[in-house]
Amino acid sequence: MRVGTGYDIHRTVEGRKLVLGGVEIPAPFGLDGHSDADCLSHAIADSILGALGLPDIGYYFPNTDPSIEGINSQEIIRKSVSLATERGYGVGNVDCTLVAEKPKIMPYLEPMRATLADSLGVDPSFVGVKATTNEKTDEIGQGLAIAAHAVCLLVPTSE
């Protein structure tokens, strides 16, 4: 078995959609980035790549590539899973934590879990999605950014 961790942070900006865990969340701001800036999905993809000992998503999806501008980050997760599949591994389980001061994330946790499970190719019971705030401390606590942590277990698909 292999385990990997992932972390990502994006600045909040006006005039963009807020997409977290593949779910569009109504908010007066979104996250800045080359893709859809879904930091939760990026952290998960990085946890898979990390478990495989591969470079991070910036290597596979460089922000200088105009062909992937605005890309749906579920595609980034699917690509990471296919890199695992090619190497004889499947996703065992994923757990992740979103750190966001606002908006209220709780109503969207289950839709995120279902969307992420679909992209990961596993039953939703193998995906944990949690959300917390930074209690108004630091930049995240002041709403200037949203961050995410993820951990992933990969299991051999053969034998």
Give dist(CA 4, CA 71) in Å, integer: 24
Minimal distance, residue 40 CB to Zn ion, in Å: 9
Q: How many residues bind Zn ion (CB under 5 A)?
A: 2
User: Stretches 3-11, 90-98, 136-144, 149-157: which one binds Zn ion (CB under 5 A)?
Assistant: 3-11
Minimal distance, residue 42 CB to Zn ion, in Å: 3
Smaller CB separation from Zn ion, 8 or 101: 8
> Considering only residues 4, 25, 41, 42, which one is a binding residue for Zn ion as defined by CB under 5 A?
42
Give dist(CA 122, CA 116) in Å, integer: 9
Q: Report the residue closest to Zn ion, judged by CB.
A: 42
> Does 36 contact Zn ion by CB under 5 A?
no
Smaller CB separation from Zn ion, 9 or 109: 9
Which residue, among 158, 157, 152, has the nearest Cα to 53 in the 3D structure? Answer: 152
Give dist(CA 150, CA 83) in Å, integer: 18
> Does 8 contact Zn ion by CB under 5 A?
yes
Minimal distance, residue 149 CB to Zn ion, in Å: 13
Residue 128 sits at the vertex; the CA angle it makes with 122 and 132, to the nearest 5 degrees, is 150
Structural tokens at position 98: 């979103």
Structural tokens at position 109: 């946790």
Structural tokens at position 25: 């969340």
> Does 149 contact Zn ion by CB under 5 A?
no
Beta bridge partners of 24: 19
Residue ranges binding Zn ion (CB under 5 A): 8, 42
